[in-house]
Structure 1
């Protein structure tokens, strides 16, 4: 197996035979610019004082870290919360306490253990006792702490641009009679309390239209699985049990994956070499070069729009009748996949990407069923009904037609990321009463008549389920920093006529029907542990319906395709005002403070665009992507391993957040206008391009028939790709490769080969290995 990307600087002493590891095209081509950069101890400008650099430059990273310094007014919540460990009789100043809580993430909860110092949350980790996460966390949980202290957070209730009080809000809400037609657009949630309040609101008003809105708009998994199973199910994969894994456009190791933590742990376990020489084999078919693709033993780059045909051909080779895969019937890669899967049997596993169509997910489920994987490498969890995203278009149409009396938008931003075929701005404008609840005065907040600041999850009571269904309570670490802030639970409580009940009261009431036996004892135990054991989703066998397998798949569209993904740093824009995440290099491109259009070298040559290193800075051409009269303009990033004709873009950039905050004052050192990353205005504004206008509801993840043209050049891209490069004379001292590798057979023969290796250049016969870049 080759694990990419691995980096080294140019030196003939260290070059592997036949192949070379490199960090950038400038490194690969050993350009004069790269040699000059490598010869310098520091990057250009790193040793200079602040003299006009923009905040997008990577030299300003300390500005974000200083956001936590000097904070005050952190208040402990008034309700009783329980620390994870037994506390002393009296709190000792300066001694941190740990509390179990959970963070909502893409419709599920991520169980956490949060350190609190003198009443202020200071560190987030995964809950080590939770059966699903087992103490692990991702970048999103770690960065959530900075979101609590975001200086651009909304602080006051607004009616238009005017600050009002809760007295005014309650007067407006009381005017909604029982005959009112209510619409709610809410972020996906597994909260049992929200589900109960949703029912209460429905009973109180004449009509309730509720939409669980996810900006990813990736409904292929739910629709595809619902077509072949009797009930609404979600696939839970067990990569540790699989000997052969086939990924069809599924980046299951990405931090944006809903079950990333479990996937990563299980996949790593399956890659450990056992005494019998068994180690899982990973095949990846994908259009964009991903984290999962970098871990592949065999990788095939293919346009995302061609994957349905490949899936059909693979299914046919295994004995599942699906037409439409003739283009891949004789493909040696597909033949090898089918042979390995049949040999693996119940230890085989096929996974489809979230952005793939419902037909692909139905086909993948049929393949897993055919090889006997169900119940071993994949379980289907009975999760209950889910709302399809097309309901958003229906609700928008109802609103535009004047058939809604009130619309509440809870912790989502449809004005920013709704596809172009849904006119949310007109829909909101047509409703007499509109209210947005969110952490920022964002694009949707400005479109609504009312805006209410939302609490951060570390400030509010709530509940929900982790990906495996285990129930958890979200307990606050501090009281809301801003008095006007309300949680989704509290706002829905107001709509349900429960104005006198706090979030704590509403959550406790829900759990009164969940905890059996002594409630107070059980309640304290759940708060202490962070979860209620034995409450996972039902994994009982489900009935497979062959009638749900699509008889055929449609062919790929013509022209270029654009593949839209959740960004591994800012997600859908939820983390775009988080400087830690903006400064985090992309796992593949190492780009920071921007989004780019990734493409293969062949596609770049076809379009006549390029990128390169000049004076220590990366510059690239820009392109215009157009389809259906819609267009966006993005800088180019040439990424080997990308399928020809496929262009990758990321959501979450091009934000417009309102902020009245002035530039911060100096803290420990002088900060001028240029070096303070939190200058006046929201941090996310002006960073990157919003790609949502290119999408429509039916093709939100893979857009075909796109026209591409060069629109300009000399766009400066901030990237860490060449940071830390060393000149040849700096590496000659080591006289060895950057890592040591061996085949499984060699490892089994001598497990201590690493320690016994001589400190000399490690050479490998690369002809024995397939390339992951250009197959």
Structure 2
């Protein structure tokens, strides 16, 4: 309110903000420029929408011109379309990957596009790992070797180790000459490979050694179950491990064993374990205890997890053996073997290692209460002594009923490592070394000086690796989806591998390359015929079928697996 007696006459005052804005509205709420008429002719020639579209298109063109996009070629239709093929319809083939995984491969117009599990396989039951599904990416990998290579032999120092393209006939002739020279001089021909799980591949290696008597086969795996096999051999006289029935176990105790993540046949083990974890069937719900030094997939799924070093795990298992022995009054336990670890009971052990003693008591109670229905597992990294202790505990609990002795996990050749090879290489006894789809230089950190002591170095690989460096020959091999083979992971169960596409590049199957060196002449279907001949002589007679071999062979090829 104005007060003309005490305030200046030219100043205005308002009682509220609303009074101020209401007064302003009387003189015009919007500026004059906003109230002008809308005229289309005065708009700019380019709209905002068109500007944004052009900006996006120009950015896309700029990015596309800066990449190394590879031309995928033309899509060509069938010249003579097969009766069974329809455009857009998928055709499925049963096959096996190089790790023994039984798969069903989906193809369309002759191109593999998807890998899934083979539901007809009695072990896998249609389950495979994510690595197996991703295996198809390797088939179309642009970094695959496409031609055989050999060392240039240039007199220029900068170019002497360069690899140049060569043809297969020249490479075969030179390599066969090197192999014969090694035999004549009495020097070693070393073939380095991973686990041999193919009976036909084993026969091929035997034939290779028969042809070249100085040849030796070295097989290795960075992660293997050798300690478990050695403990089993010392206990039962054989290295063939029985398969386990995880689906029948009520209590599972895993010592450093990541059977749900990285160890063993993971897809099968996950399927078996999951079958006993149905929340709608609590009466048959299993319980998992895990003792491990680092977090694993198995530990994350455990009901009770104990974080213990391997030494403490050894101490724990002998304390459990003592407790179980006392409760079951089992006098078969050798007390001298456990005296070192039986100085304390589980309560003292729990207090010393920061573990709730109730959890260890639950574990012991569960093992005793579920005798014959519990299973104790030891990880691949644990020593042989720990595996023997696990065998002892399983025997005390009569858990052998959870081992399937009719389906043994077998190896066609035992793993023997490469220690002897390294010693012979160091002493200059190796004339030829053949990397059979392996990378020993990287896996065992072999120095260039040591690696170069081999006379002739040959790598049979899909892609370049560290072991190809300074090689005399680098030979490209087929992908698993371009190859023939067979596999025998479990006793009595054989699976077949068949090509679902012709080789995309100038490559050969690694087994066919060796077979060509044995016979002195390579043919396109030599290993296919070699595989069929072995099946006709060794597998077909024990199959007990009334059909002829051809029908038997095509039936096995169709299903991808046979069980004898």
Q: TM-score if structure 2 supplies the norm length? A: 0.74
Coordinate RMSD, CA, aligned: 3.0
Q: Compared with structure 1, are the counterparts of its residues 219 and 377 closer, same or farther at alpha carbon in structure 2 (3 Å cutoff)?
A: closer
Q: 2:83 aligns with which of 73, 84, 89?
A: 89
- For the structure 1 residues 71 and 316, does the alpha-carbon distance in structure 2 shift closer, same or farther, using more than 3 Å as the test? farther
CA deviation string 1:380-403 (max 9, x = no partner): 7262564344x4111111122111
Once the two structures are TM-superposed, the CA of residue 355 in structure 1 deviates from its matched residue by 1.6
SS at match of 1:455: coil
Deviation at 1:165, TM superposition (A): 1.2
Shift of 1:408: 0.7
The answer on 1:121 being equivalent to 2:121 is no
Cα deviation, residue 307, structure 1: 2.3
CA 1:189 to 1:440, structure 2 compared with 1: closer, same or farther past 3 Å?
A: same
**Aligned pairs, number:** 455
The structure-2 alpha-carbon separation of the partners of 1:315 and 1:208, relative to structure 1 and needing over 3 Å to count, comes to farther
Q: Deviations over 1:532-552 (max 9, x none)?
A: 122xxxxxxxxxxxxxxxxxx
User: Matches of 1:275 and 1:136 in 2, distance apart?
Assistant: 23
Q: Sort the Cα spacing of 1:208 and 1:306 in 2 relative to 1 into closer, same or farther, 3 A.
A: farther
Cross-structure match for 1:337: 363
> Does the C-alpha gap of structure 1 residues 195 and 267 become closer, same or farther in structure 2, counting only changes over 3 Å?
same
Match of 2:341 in 1: 325
Higher helix fraction: Structure 1 or Structure 2? 2
Residues 272-283 of structure 1: matches in 2 within 5 Å? 272=278, 277-283=283-289
Are 1:350 and 2:376 matched, yes or no?
Answer: yes
Structure 1 residues 90 and 253, CA gap change in structure 2 (3 angstroms): same
Kindly indicate whether residue 113 of structure 2 is the aligned counterpart of residue 111 of structure 1.
no
Query: Aligned in 2, Cα 1:73/1:359: closer, same or farther, shift over 3 Å?
Result: farther
Asked if the contact 1:74/1:119 (under 8 Å) is kept, the reply is no
**CA deviation after TM superposition for structure 1 residue 257, in Å:** 3.0
Q: Per-residue displacement from partner, 1:3-37 (whole Å, max 9, x unpaired)?
A: xxxxxxxxxxxxxxxxxxxxxxxxxxxxxxxxxxx
Task: Name the residue aligned to 1:158.
Answer: 149
Q: CA distance change for structure 1 residues 99 and 339 in 2, over 3 Å: closer, same or farther? A: same
Question: Which residue number corresponds to residue 556 of structure 2?
Answer: 526
1:287 paired to 2:293: yes
Partner of 2:316: 310
Are the structure 2 counterparts of residues 219 and 384 from structure 1 closer, same or farther at C-alpha, using a change threshold of 3 Å?
closer
CA distance in 1, matches of 2:105, 2:164: 36
What's the CA shift string for 1:119-168, capped at 9, x where partnerless?
Answer: 11001000011111111121011111111111111112121312211122
Other-structure match for 1:510: 534
Question: 2:401 maps to what in 1?
Answer: 375
In structure 2, the CA distance between the partners of 1:424 and 1:277, relative to structure 1 (3 Å rule), is same
CA contact 2:409–2:490 (8 Å) conserved in 1: no
In the other structure, the counterpart of 1:396 is 422
- Kept after mapping to 2: 8 A contact 1:489/1:506: no
Q: Which residue of 2 aligns with 1:99?
A: 93
Say whether residues 1:248 and 2:255 are aligned partners. yes
Aligned equivalent of 2:199, options 161, 178, 192:
192
Normalised to the residue count of structure 1, the TM-score between the two structures is 0.55
> What runs of 5+ residues in structure 1 fail to find an aligned partner?
1-48, 50-62, 77-86, 535-775
Matched position secondary structure for 2:370: helix
Structure 1 counterpart SS, 2:222: coil
Distance 1:506 1:93 in 2: 35
Structure 1 residues 488 and 466: alpha-carbon distance in aligned structure 2, compared to 1, 3 A threshold: same
Unaligned runs of 5+ in 2: 1-55, 57-66, 152-162, 326-332, 350-356
Q: Secondary structure at the match of 1:514?
A: helix
Alignment of 1:169-248 (within 5 A): 169-175=171-177, 176-177=179-180, 178-179=183-184, 181-216=188-223, 219-248=226-255
Alpha carbons of structure 1 residues 276 and 151: separation in structure 2 relative to 1, 3 Å: closer
Q: For 1:447 and 1:355, how far apart are their aligned partners in 2? A: 34
> Retained in 2: the 8 A contact 1:132–1:468?
no
Q: 1:275 to 1:475 in 2, by over 3 A?
A: closer
1:416 deviates by: 1.1
Equivalent residues of 1:242, 1:377 under 8 A apart: no
User: Using a 3 Å threshold, how does the CA distance of structure 1 residues 384 and 151 change in structure 2: closer, same or farther?
Assistant: closer
Output aligned runs, 1:343-742, within 5 Å.
Answer: 343-377=369-403, 379=405, 381=408, 383=410, 386-389=413-416, 391-418=417-444, 423=446, 425-467=448-490, 470-483=493-506, 485-497=507-519, 499-501=521-523, 502-512=526-536, 513-516=538-541, 518-534=548-564
Cα distance change, pair 159–308 in 1 and its aligned pair in 2 (3 A): farther
SS in 2 for 1:271: coil
Deviates more, 1:432-441 or 1:486-495: 486-495
Q: 1:154 to 1:326 in 2, by over 3 A?
A: farther
What is aligned with 1:752? none
In structure 1, distance between residues paired with 2:248 and 2:279 = 13
CA spacing shift, 1:188–1:499, aligned 2, 3 Å: farther
